Structure 1
Amino acid sequence: MSAAALALPLMLATACSGDEGASLSKSAQEGFLPPEGRITAEADIVRNLWDGAWIAALATGAVVIVLILWACFFHRKRKNSAALPAQVRYNLPIEIFYTLVPLVMVSVFFFFTARDQNAMLAVNNDATVKVKVEAVQWSWRFTTESGGKVKQVMGKPVSDYTQGPQLVLPVDTKVEFQLESPDVIHSFWVPAFLFKRDVIPGIAKEKNRFEVTTLNKPGVYAGRCAELCGVDHSRMLFNVKLVSKQEFEQNLAAGSSQ
């Protein structure tokens, strides 16, 4: 199983390359969703980790550049001088600095990453809506259960995510996803979740689960497979529709659809 959302650069490397990309904003295609594009509470955890990592990386880069420039300007050979700058073999303070500082940086990165990963992957078994996600070559089967009612939606390969199987979810609700695959490795990805997870054959849905809490942002959001899985991988598209709780109950009561 994979907590791939926390490896955020992978969001930029999805193998999907079909026409469905045109349906997303430029920022969404690049993996940088604006605040209004995120539809789960957990997405804010990922975005904060992403922003913090960028700030730390830029700060580290600035320090390195300053040190390089300092060495270049203050330890260069002087004009009209035959003598070289002092060649120092050891400098204990600097060696301590470049040993301890990276250790501190790695420790800080590890702490925040582990903290956020645990929060993202926590399953409390109290979700009011449960969705069984079955990834097959090359589409999706969604089985939604809530309050004793069950609805199943089966899709087929499409060229636009709006034509794919639609997963209807209520706003302001905790949803548990259970992932299964009968054939090859797929990856369940809704960009607006800022999270994706591998769907691996042989791993029971009880062991490959995650939860999200939807926000009050009704709309239709693109979804896709983010793991190269075969000839129609780029057409393995679906969409998630966030609706009011009343509309969700009506949709659930309508029963299964193909």
Structure 2
Amino acid sequence: MTAQIALITGANKGIGFETARILGLDGMIVLVGARSAALGEKAAAALAEEGIDARFVHLDVTDAVSVQAAADRIEDELGRLDVLVNNAGITPTDASDPASSPPPSRVSPGLVRAAFETNVLGVVAVTNAMLPLLRRSPAGRIVNVSSSLGSLTRTTDPSASPSLPNLLPYNTSKTALNAVTVAYARELAGTPIKVNSVAPGFCATDLNGHTGTRTPAQGAAVVAGAAVLGGDGPTGAYLSEDGRVPW
């Protein structure tokens, strides 16, 4: 098998779907990870209509059994993985109207826990399950879809922070995800695997009630770019369309 193989979590819609499209049109086999079989199969079929080798993989990043089953299936059917895009993410507060979201002092621990279950712990679970397959790639790539709201530098900048939504569960989960990226990059330093966080920009998706100013395809272009970094590309970096994002 010469075609590269990419797994994208949360790939049935939004940035994940558009990332699968870009990588698929580039000749990769794209594994459409999704919790819903109906939505995942529909997304894979839509990509296949464009001539893409797209295959639905049932994957709930918060379910250990589902994660391991997905890894086992990829092992049995393909034997390796070249790209992992950890795209699945949630915000348990209303990102479409930040003014209506509770301030940190009124956020329940349960909302924070829910965000971390998917946005942080789910990434760790999927990455650990897929790493043995990625190690078989001559140039493995792990892309963690973060957000500029995870940047402590930006959210504490007096000139910028007043305009940024103060969404405690979401923002802190993306900051933690960036730390996860750095931890894996440190472990995998000296190997062919590169691990980076990506801020795709404020894209119109279900996550924010389609209030974003960028299209999912524009955000996906940033994600896909990190998925096909050359050997001289960075690892342990926080990337955006405009270059590196400050931690």
Larger relative contact order, structure 1 or 2 (CA cutoff 8 Å, min sep 6): 1
The normalised TM-score by structure 1 is 0.24
> Greater helix percent: which structure?
2
The normalised TM-score by structure 2 is 0.25
> Greater strand percent: which structure?
1
